[in-house]
Structure 1
C-alpha cells in the first residue's frame, strides 16, 4: 500500500511543479505590463489578455464597437458601429471577480445611502461576466479577461435574429482574443477579439455580403473607460432646445416634482479649455475626403458665434491611430453591399449626458444615388448635351456629402433632427434636404443650387443653447429663455422625429425631404419638372458603358419624383401646427398652446392634387419611354431599386402605375388621418371629413370618365390604379385602427360604391373590373374572413437620398 502511494506521488509531482504560483510575478512572468486606467498584460503565446483590477466597486463605462463588420445595410452591423455605454463595476465574491452592470434607468440621487439602496434593490441589475482570480496582491486582483472578450458583447447574434438571418452562435474554436491590439491609457483600456459566428447561412442578407454566410467573421472591440470627473456641469433638457436628451427616473425628487429627469447630451466644452476635435477616416478617397472635411467643419463658425474660438475642429485621422480607440471622435466612411442610411451616435455618461465619444457612420453608396438622380434629370450623355452637365451631377453629389457630414456630426454633438427647418430655406443641416430643383428660363431642369452650404440659423441657435456659457441658476435660466423667445420671434419652428416619420403624422411642417415655404407651390413646381424629365427620358441619362437594363432603375426616381412632396401635401389633410415646449413658456407667452388646424381651403386644394395622382394622365408613361425600356442584360438582374414586374423579363408598366397609386393611397387612407378627418368635421362641418376624401378619390379613379385615347395603355393603367385604391380602403378597414363610428361610415360608403358599380357596369375590361370589384366589396362586408385581401404593391426605396 505504501509503495502504491509513493507511485501516485511520483506521478503527480511533475504536474504540481508545473503549475504557476498564484502570485502576480508568477502569472505574468515574461509578460510586459501596460500601466493605465486598468493594468493589462498581453499574453500572445496563449492568446489571452490579463487585467489587474485594483479598485473594486468603482463604476466605469463599458462600450463595444465593430472594427470589422458585416457590410449589410439591411442587417445593420456596420464597420466602426458603436454600442451604447454601460455603467459597470468589478465586484469580488470569494475567489472570483464579477463584472456587474448597474441599472441606470432607476436611481435615487440622494445623500441618504438607505434611500439610494432602496431603489437599487428594487430594479434588477446584471452580471455580465465572472472569472477566477489568478492572483492577488493586496487590493490588486489578476484575472484572465479573455472569456469576456470572446462572448458576443455587441449584440450581433440578436441583430442577426431580429433581421431573420437565422440563429447564430459564437464558435469558440474559430474565435480568438487579439492581444496585440490591447492597449492601456490613463483613462481607458482598449481590447479586441476576432469572433466567428456560426449559423445556417440561408438568410437573404448574409448571403448577399458574406464570404461564407454560415461563417461570419468580425471583430469586436471593447473599451473600458474611466468616468469623467465632477467638473462637468449638466444642462437640463428643454423640448425646444433642438437637442437630444438622456435621463432616468429619480425617486429622490420631491413629491411634487417629476420622476422623469432629463439631461441634454453634449460634449464638455469650456472657454479656454480643450476643443472638440473630430477625426475623418483615412479610407475616404478624394474628392469625397475634401467634401467631408469641409462639410463637418461648417460647425466651426457656429461654435465661434457661441463664444468658443477654436472650440471645434475636424482633422484627418493621424496615420497609424486606432479609430476604435474611445479617445477619438470619428467620422467613418463605411461600405455596404447596397446604399443605406448614415448615422451619428454619441456614447454618453448615463448619469449626466456628457458625451464621451462621437461616432459618425457615413454610407459610401448614398453619394452614387445623388449622381444617379442628377443624371436621370439632366440627361448628360446625349451627343448635344453640354459638357458641363457631366460635372454638374458630381458637383451636386459632393454638395450633398458636405451637408451629410455636417448633419451626422451634428447628431454626435447632441443635436436632433429639425424637419421644419426647410421652411426657411437652408434653415438647418439637421433637416433632411431634398435637392432644390428648378426649371430655367429655357425650360431646362436646373440643379445648380440643389443643396445649400453652411449651417443655418437654427443650427447656430442650437449651439448657443446647448453649449453656451451663461453662468448658473437664474442667470442661466433667463439667458436660455431669451434664446427660445428670440428663435420663435425669428420664425423658427422645431418638429423632430416623433412628429414627422409616421405616414399619418399631422404636423404640416415636420417634413422629411421637402423644400420651400409653400407645400402646394413646391408640389406644382416638382410636377412640372417631373413631366419635363419624363418627356425627355432616354438613354441619354445612362453612361455608355452601363448595361441597357439599368435604364429602368433610373426611371424610378424620375417617375416617383414627387413622392416626398406628396407626403407633405398629405400632411395638410387634417393637419395642424403645434409646438414642443413647456407649460412655463406657454404661461409666459413665449409659446402657444394647442393645435392650429390647416384651413379648409388649403386642405381641399391638397386633396385635389393628391387625388389627381390616381388618374391615368399622371400615371401613364409616354409611349416613347415605354418603347425604349430593355430587360436587364444577361448576368444582371432587377434589384429592389427597380419597379416590380409580373411580366417575367420585361418592364411592367402596370406595376409601376400600381406603385405610384400605392404611394398616394397609403397617405390618403392612413387610419390616423381618417380618424382626424372625422373629428375635425364633427367639430366644424366646414372642414373636410373622411367621406369627402373618399368621394374625391373615387371620383378621380373608379368613377372618372373615359381615359383619353392618346395615353399609352391608358385604360389599363387607370384600372390598375383603381384596384390599388380599393385594396387600400379595404386594408384600412381590416386593420382595426379606425374608431367604430369612422369604421361604420367607411363601410356605408363602400356599400354605396358597390351599388354604383353595379348600376354603372361600363364596357370591356372596365366592365369586368367593376363587376369583380362590386362582388369583392360585398363579400368582404358580409364575411371578412372569406376574403383574402391583397397587400398594397411594393414601392421601390427612395430614402435615403
Structure 2
C-alpha cells in the first residue's frame, strides 16, 4: 500500500512536471510568433495604430509599433440614451488621457503620466523626483501575443469593450436600476471603426442589463426594453500636437477656462501653481500684418442631421464669432460648415456642433478635448438639445396669444424669436469650446456678451402691446471681442506680450466692460447686484417693473387665443406657467441688491474698484419692489383663466413643468400663487445674506434684518384685510413669511446677531397676533390666528421650500452648462 502511494505520488509529480514543460513550450512558441503569422487570417486596418479585425472571434488586435511614446486617448458616446435627466447624450465626450504603452516581459501597460505635477525648468533629476513623488495611473494591461522587430501585437478587445464611460455607475446614481455590462450582448461596431494616418477610431456596441428587475422612469420612457439598454462607445487614439503651441498665462480679469498644474521647479518667490488658458492654435500667415488670414483657420462643423430653419439659424449664430476674430486681427479665421456625409462626428479632427434629441428639454453645453500639457484645444464639441427651442416658442406663445383666427399669422413672431435665441445659443456654446467661461455681468453692460444667459428682452410699445422685436441680439458682443483679443491676438515680434494683454483688459474696464462668472452669479446667497442669470438691464428694479407690466399685459389677454385650434383646453396650463412666472429671474436679480456688494476681479495696481456696498436707499427700493411682486392682487388669477383649465385628458399626464397642486385633478390657483410668493422670500432669507445685512448695518448703516422683516410684515400681516381669492393668497403669504422667520430663527448657519433680530421680530409678531385674536369677532380669522400662534411654538417644524416647488422654467433648461 505504501509503495502504491509512493508510485501514485511520483506519477502526479511527473504529470505536473510534464504539464509545466508543455505550458512553457506553448508559451515559448507563442512568443516566437510573428505579427504576420498571427494576423494572416485577419483583416488589417492600417493607420496611426495598425489594428486587425478577427472575424472568427470578434476580436480587435492592436499593433503597437512605438513603445513609451505619448499619445492622446479619448472616449465618447456616439449613440446615447436620450434622457436629459440621466445624461449620456449622443455626442458627449468622456475623459481625455495622455497615455503611453510600456512593455515589461510579455506585458504591455497603458500608463497615464501625471501632468498635474511637474518640474518644467528643472534638470532630469529634479523632474524624476517630481514624477516619482506623485502617482501615475495604469489604465490597462495587455499581454503580448506576437511580435516582429520592435512591434508587438496585443488583444485589445476587453479594453475596448469595457464600460469606459461608467454608464453603469451613471444609471445607478440616477436611481434607474442596477445595470451591468453584458458581454454576450456587446460587440465591436465596425461601421465606425476606422484608421487614418494621425488617428485611430474604434467603436463598440455595449448592452447594459438590469439585474434586479427594478428600472427607473427615465429609462422606462426612452428605452424599448428597459431591462436592456444598448449604447455605443467610441475610442480615439491620436497623435499629440507638436511642441510649437504657444501657451498664454491666465489673468483673473479675463474670462478664460484655465489649464492648471503645479510646477515644483518654480523659484520660492513665485507661485507653484501655474495657470494657462485654454485656446485653439491660431497663427497668422503674416505675423507682422495688422490683419492676416490664418495658417489654419478654426473650422466648426454643424451636424448634418439638423433640419431647416434651425440649421440656418445655428450656422448664422456660430458664424458671429468671426466678428470677434476679425477684431483680433484675423481674416476669415473662424468658419462654420456642414459636416460632410463621409465624416464621423466622433473623429477628433472635427470641431462639432451636435443637434441632439432627448425625451425632455434640457441644457445644451460646450465641451472640448484639450491637451493637458499645454491647454491647446484639439476638438471643440457642442451639444445642442433639440427641444429647448420649443420652450422659447412657448414663452412667446404665452406672451402674444396669437391664435385669434385659429391659425398662425403669416408673420410668425414666435418662431422668429425662438430662432433668434438659437443663434445666440449656438454662439454661446461654441464660446465655451474656444476657451471662454460665462460672463454674467454682461446683461448690465448693454448685453456685451453672448456668454451671459439672456432672457428675451420684452417691452410694451407705444400702443401698449407686447413687443418682441428686440428679444435677442443679432451679433457678437463687445466683451466677446475683448475676450478673443486677449486669448488669440498674435502680436508683432518684439512686443511685450504681458503689457499688451494687460492693456486689452485695462482698456476694457475703462470702457465699462468687466467679467463676473459662475460661482458669483449662481451663489444662492446672491452677492453681486449686477451678476445674474436671465436678467436684463443695468437697473434691476426698473427692469423688474417692466417685466411685471409685461406679465400683467400678457395675463390680461390670456385665454383661448393662447393655444391653436384642436388643442385640449387643459394644455392652457402649459402656456400659462412661463407667463405667470415671467418675472421669476428678475426677482432673483433684484434680491441681490439686498445685502449686496459690488466688486471686481481687480488685481493690484490696475485701478479698478475693488468692493463697494449697495446703499441702504437702493436696498430699500429693491425690497419694496420684491414685496410688490407678492401683492395678492398681482398673484390672483382671474376667474376667466381658471375656468378655462379643466383636468388633463387621458393620455396627457402631469409633469414637473406644471404647478404642484393640493386640489386633486383640478387646477390650483393658490398653489401657483404660493410658488410665486415663495421665490422672493427664499432669496431674501438666505442665511448668508441675513448675516451680511447684520454686519453691514453695524458698520455701514446698511439695511438691517429687523428693518427688512418690519417692511415685509407691514406689507402682509399689517396690511388691510382682503376677501375672496385675494384674501386666501394674503393669508398664504403671511404663513410663508412666518415659515421663513421660524426656520431662520433656529438655522445653525445664521449668526447669533441674526438670530437675535429674528427672535425679536417673531416676538413682536406674536404680540400682534395675540392682540388681533382678542379684538376680532370673525371666527374664520380667529381660527387663522390660533393656527399662527400654535405654529410659533414649534419652529423646528417650519420647512421653507426654497422654491423647489417651482416648475423648471429657465428659458433653456434646468441644469448648468459647462465645459
1:748 aligns with 2:765: no
Cα distance between partner residues in 2 of 1:66 and 1:384: 43
Cα distance between partner residues in 2 of 1:203 and 1:632: 24
Inter-CA distance 735–250: structure 2 relative to 1 (3 Å threshold): farther
Inter-CA distance 766–333: structure 2 relative to 1 (3 Å threshold): farther
TM-score (norm 1): 0.93
Inter-CA distance 739–471: structure 2 relative to 1 (3 Å threshold): farther
1:610 aligns with 2:591: no
Cα distance between partner residues in 1 of 2:334 and 2:351: 12
The aligned residue for residue 378 of structure 1 is: 400
Match of 1:80 among 84, 87, 91: 91
Cα distance between partner residues in 2 of 1:665 and 1:605: 16
Structure 1 residue matching 2:233: 3-state secondary structure: strand
1:208-265 deviation per Cα after TM superposition (whole angstroms, max 9, x unaligned)? 2222222211111111122110110000011112211121122221111112211110
Cα distance between partner residues in 2 of 1:557 and 1:310: 40
Cα distance between partner residues in 2 of 1:384 and 1:332: 35
User: Which shows bigger deviation, 164-173 or 477-486?
Assistant: 164-173
TM-score (norm 2): 0.91
Inter-CA distance 734–116: structure 2 relative to 1 (3 Å threshold): farther
1:112 aligns with 2:123: yes
Alpha-carbon distance, 1:292 to partner: 0.5
Cα distance between partner residues in 2 of 1:527 and 1:30: 74
Equivalent pair of 1:110/1:252 in contact (CA under 8 Å)? yes
1:715 aligns with 2:727: yes
User: Which shows bigger deviation, 132-141 or 327-336?
Assistant: 132-141
Alpha-carbon distance, 1:746 to partner: 1.8
Inter-CA distance 629–38: structure 2 relative to 1 (3 Å threshold): same
The aligned residue for residue 53 of structure 2 is: 42
The aligned residue for residue 769 of structure 1 is: 784
1:757 aligns with 2:769: yes
Alignment of 1:299-378 (within 5 A): 299-378=321-400
RMSD: 2.4
The aligned residue for residue 189 of structure 1 is: 200
Structure 1 residue matching 2:663: 3-state secondary structure: coil
Match of 2:267 among 236, 244, 254: 254
Alpha-carbon distance, 1:92 to partner: 1.7
Inter-CA distance 26–559: structure 2 relative to 1 (3 Å threshold): same
Match of 2:215 among 197, 202, 216: 202
Structure 2 residue matching 1:322: 3-state secondary structure: coil
Structure 2 residue matching 1:455: 3-state secondary structure: coil
Alignment of 1:174-573 (within 5 A): 174-199=185-210, 200=212, 201-272=214-285, 273-383=295-405, 387-388=409-410, 391-471=412-492, 475-573=496-594
1:599 aligns with 2:611: no
Alignment of 1:648-667 (within 5 A): 648-667=664-683
Equivalent pair of 1:420/1:493 in contact (CA under 8 Å)? yes
Equivalent pair of 1:31/1:42 in contact (CA under 8 Å)? yes
1:161-218 deviation per Cα after TM superposition (whole angstroms, max 9, x unaligned)? 3323233221111111224432222222111111112234422322222222222111
Equivalent pair of 1:48/1:178 in contact (CA under 8 Å)? no
Cα distance between partner residues in 1 of 2:389 and 2:281: 33
Equivalent pair of 1:190/1:223 in contact (CA under 8 Å)? yes
Alpha-carbon distance, 1:730 to partner: 3.3
Cα distance between partner residues in 2 of 1:581 and 1:788: 42
Cα distance between partner residues in 1 of 2:683 and 2:808: 16
Alpha-carbon distance, 1:756 to partner: 2.2
Alpha-carbon distance, 1:345 to partner: 0.8
1:54 aligns with 2:65: yes
Cα distance between partner residues in 1 of 2:62 and 2:578: 55
Gaps of 5+ in 1: none
Cα distance between partner residues in 2 of 1:168 and 1:113: 47
Gaps of 5+ in 2: 1-6, 286-294, 813-819
Cα distance between partner residues in 2 of 1:102 and 1:612: 59
Equivalent pair of 1:572/1:598 in contact (CA under 8 Å)? yes
1:379-421 deviation per Cα after TM superposition (whole angstroms, max 9, x unaligned)? 00013998245x1100110000011001111110111111111
The aligned residue for residue 672 of structure 1 is: 688
1:81-105 deviation per Cα after TM superposition (whole angstroms, max 9, x unaligned)? 0123122221223211111222332
1:620 aligns with 2:627: no
1:133-171 deviation per Cα after TM superposition (whole angstroms, max 9, x unaligned)? 111223211111111111111122232233232332211
1:101 aligns with 2:112: yes
Structure 2 residue matching 1:192: 3-state secondary structure: strand
Equivalent pair of 1:20/1:26 in contact (CA under 8 Å)? no
User: Which shows bigger deviation, 513-522 or 33-42?
Assistant: 33-42
1:325-350 deviation per Cα after TM superposition (whole angstroms, max 9, x unaligned)? 11100000001111110001111111
1:737 aligns with 2:749: yes
Structure 1 residue matching 2:522: 3-state secondary structure: coil
1:682 aligns with 2:698: yes
Equivalent pair of 2:441/2:530 in contact (CA under 8 Å)? yes
Alpha-carbon distance, 1:607 to partner: 0.4
Cα distance between partner residues in 1 of 2:72 and 2:601: 32
1:644-703 deviation per Cα after TM superposition (whole angstroms, max 9, x unaligned)? 112111101111111111111111111111111111101023x10111112222222233
Alpha-carbon distance, 1:588 to partner: 4.2
Cα distance between partner residues in 2 of 1:121 and 1:386: 69
Cα distance between partner residues in 1 of 2:249 and 2:313: 35
What is the number of equivalent residue pairs in this alignment? 780
Alpha-carbon distance, 1:424 to partner: 2.8
The aligned residue for residue 629 of structure 1 is: 645
